[in-house]
């Protein structure tokens, strides 16, 4: 088993924060101190300080290593918070371990397969080039702290190519559709979607937000007035932490999950 590197602080109910691409647990450095509970933020395999085994770094690989990490720490009654691919991995793990999940929160997360028409135009041009080539464009890391530039190239490229656009890649589309069905049929699990006023193209377009409101059971949407692009934990950490802390204080109270269930059925 390969042990993932992770940040950990605090005591109490476990709150796991999952980063996406092209970042690491560093993404949460200005959010973690303001949250209650036992905060844990792993580096996905091949990213941050985690090992770099000779694997393909597919979505399945990331999910498998996360499974081992959750089991090694014996985490149960978990609140998961995910950004970008971290949102997809959080939903995927929750859908396969529903008895170990207390609640889920997302910001700028990959939660459904998309058509090219649904994707922001500027982003579509970048990802068409990524899917057709063998390298990442320079703008892929633009606006992020320089620490991320040292991340192992292979997982960044593979995750970028795996973005579920236009039905490709089919194995990722199938997996996301599977956890999507669980998100739609799990009213006992509170869910939070945190949005910001878009500073430029974001993944959570109004169309995507409307889809989440229609499809995700027991969803609360927190619409922040601050402006942010895709990397919300980097751009608005204080606002994001404030919203998450308030929500966590409610969903980690004894009996809160049952209250949500009763209101939803």
Q: Residue ranges of the domains in the chain?
A: 6-264
* Whether residue 197 lies in the annotated active site: no
**202 three-state secondary structure:** coil
- Residue 138's pLDDT is 76
Distance CA 236, CA 31 (A): 9
Distance CA 16, CA 104 (A): 10
Mean pLDDT score of the chain: 91
Q: Which of 19, 62, 83, 230 is catalytic?
A: 230
Phi, psi of 132 (to 5 degrees): -90, -15
Report CA-CA distances (Å) from 249 to 12, 34, 115, 165: 12, 12, 37, 36
Averaged pLDDT for residues 33-57: 96
* Whether residue 108 lies in the annotated active site: yes
* 57-76 tens-digit pLDDT: 999 999 999 999 999 999 99
* Whether residue 153 lies in the annotated active site: no
Distance CA 63, CA 76 (A): 17
Instruction: Kindly give the interhelix angle for 59-72 and 85-96, rounded to the nearest 10 degrees.
Output: 60
Q: Which of 43, 108, 231, 234 is catalytic?
A: 108
- Residue 261's pLDDT is 32
> CATH classification of 6-264 is 3.40.50.1820, yes or no?
yes
* 146-204 tens-digit pLDDT: 888 877 889 999 999 999 999 999 999 999 999 999 999 999 999 999 999 998 778 88
Q: Which of 43, 84, 92, 234 is catalytic?
A: 84
In this predicted structure, the answer to whether residue 135 has a pLDDT above a threshold of 50 is: yes
How many Cα atoms are found within 13 Å in the side-chain-facing hemisphere of 254? 0
User: What whole-number percentage of the chain has pLDDT above 70?
Assistant: 95
In this predicted structure, the answer to whether residue 256 has a pLDDT above a threshold of 60 is: no
- Residue 260's pLDDT is 38
- Residue 1's pLDDT is 53
Distance CA 215, CA 217 (A): 6
Contacts 24+ apart (CB under 8 A), 143-146: 143/229, 143/231, 143/234, 144/22, 144/23, 144/231, 144/234, 145/26, 145/234
Cis ω before 169 (30° cut-off from 0): yes
Residues of 123-146 as b/e, b for ≥16 C-beta within 10 angstroms? Answer: bbebbeebeeeeebeeebbeebee
Copy the structure tokens of residue 122. 């500027």
Copy the structure tokens of residue 13. 């109910």
């Amino acid at each position: 088993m390969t042990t993932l590197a992770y940040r950990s602080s605090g005591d109490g109910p476990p709150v796991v924060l999952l980063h996406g691409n092209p970042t690491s647990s560093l993404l949460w450095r200005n959010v973690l101190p303001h949250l209650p509970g036992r905060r844990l933020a792993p580096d996905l395999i091949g990213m941050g300080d985690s090992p770099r085994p000779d694997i393909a770094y597919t979505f399945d690989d990331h999910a498998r290593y996360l499974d081992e990490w959750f089991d090694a720490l014996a985490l149960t009654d978990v609140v998961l918070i995910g950004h970008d691919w971290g949102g997809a991995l959080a939903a995927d793990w929750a859908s396969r371990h529903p008895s170990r999940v207390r609640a889920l929160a997302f910001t700028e997360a990959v939660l459904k397969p998309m058509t090219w028409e649904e994707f922001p135009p500027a982003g579509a041009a970048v990802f068409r080039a990524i899917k057709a080539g063998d390298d990442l464009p320079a703008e892929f890391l633009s606006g992020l702290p320089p620490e991320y530039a040292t991340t192992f190239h292979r997982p960044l490229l593979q995750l970028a190519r795996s973005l579920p656009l236009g039905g490709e890649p089919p194995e990722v589309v199938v997996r996301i559709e599977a956890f999507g069905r669980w998100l739609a049929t799990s009213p006992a699990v509170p869910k939070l979607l945190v949005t910001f006023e878009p500073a430029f193209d974001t993944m959570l377009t109004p169309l995507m937000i409307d889809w989440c409101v229609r499809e995700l059971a027991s969803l609360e949407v927190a619409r922040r007035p601050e402006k942010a692009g895709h990397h919300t934990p980097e751009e608005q950490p204080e606002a994001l932490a404030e919203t998450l802390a308030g929500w966590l204080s409610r969903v980690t109270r004894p009996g809160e999950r049952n209250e949500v269930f009763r209101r939803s059925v």
